[in-house]
Amino acid sequence: MTILASGLSWVDLLFVGQPKAIATAVVHSPGTLALVDPGPSSCLETLERGLEEQGLRLSELTHILLTHIHLDHAGATGTLVRRCPQAQVYVHERGAVHMADPDKLISSAARLYGDQMDRLWGEFAPVPERNLTVLVGGERIDAGGRSFEVAYTPGHASHHVSYYDRSSGVAFVGDAAGMCVDGGYVLPPTTPPDLDIEAWGRSARLIEAWSPETLFLTHCGPARGVTAHLQALVRNLETVAALARAELSEPGTDDEKSDRFGEALRGELRRHMTEEQIEPYMVAAPPKLLWLGLARYWKKRAAH
């Protein structure tokens, strides 16, 4: 079921053909249409088709709410604004500069994804500055016919924000509340470059303080039982961070350590889910990327 509440729904983007990996939230009322984290350009056809199935048209787009600017969340934004020049884009101040000029972001991603960039993500077009509304947290914004509270929620990324619609009780939290599919394991996507474990714990408490009834996760969809979910996030963040820290002290090359971490992480997931349930996690949050974020985090800590 893709309906969250009246005027709130979502679309599974079927990223690289995998269900339950990336989702876009949809907020609509007569004359206005907002998307929260539109996903990568490689999934635009799926997004447009999903909207049409709900009786909506992409040409009606008026607002794009970005939780953060990673390619799996924000990659399609510039392409959408080119098609819908009336659309206003909301993004944290630390991410806004990269939406206007994404060259550095694309270059950084290319080092991770190499020749898979286009297949995975497609175009990442710049957003004209006139279409950007810069956030710092603490604002209240109107989009899609609803009023959203904005909170600064770093941890996964230093430019992460979350949005809360108090009228429906739904908090749109990007990656700040981790990845969870069908009530399974709550996995923190600890990707580089600016993972901050302590800040992530504080962000989880801030989201809980909203007392939402539902969390909408970009990976993947609605999650209820909010307090238990956020407790699991913090607990699992400690678990995966400890796995990486222990592996860093073991002998071997970086690739060998990464592979062993990946196997340990799969083992942790297998304790809670079947192989079929694990597959979306491997697509949306590949262990190699999670290792890179955690290894960088611990090495920075050791240097200080």
Average pLDDT, the chain: 96
- Reported as a single tens digit per residue, the pLDDT across 59-80 is 999 999 999 999 999 999 999 9
Could you tell me what percent of the chain has a pLDDT over 70?
Answer: 99
CA nearest neighbour of 153 among 173, 178, 139, 168:
173
Per-residue pLDDT, 112: 87
| Superfamily (CATH H level) for 3-240 | Ribonuclease Z/Hydroxyacylglutathione hydrolase-like (3.60.15.10)
pLDDT value at 1 more than 70: no
What sign results for the dihedral spanned by CA atoms 276, 280, 283, 285?
negative
Place of tokens 């497609």: 122
- Reported as a single tens digit per residue, the pLDDT across 93-122 is 999 999 999 999 999 999 989 999 999 999
What sign results for the dihedral spanned by CA atoms 46, 113, 267, 294?
negative
pLDDT value at 216 more than 70: yes
Per-residue pLDDT, 70: 97
- Let me know if 251 is exposed, middle or buried by CB neighbors in 10 A (0-12, 13-18, 19+): exposed
- How crowded is residue 149: how many other Cβ atoms within 10 Å of its Cβ? 16
Query: Pseudo-torsion of CA 57, 59, 63, 64, nearest 10°?
Result: 80
pLDDT value at 27 more than 90: yes
- Reported as a single tens digit per residue, the pLDDT across 220-240 is 999 999 999 999 999 999 999
Q: What is the mean pLDDT of residues 144-171?
A: 98
Per-residue pLDDT, 301: 86
Compute CA 275 distance to the chain's CA centroid, rounded to the nearest angstrom: 23
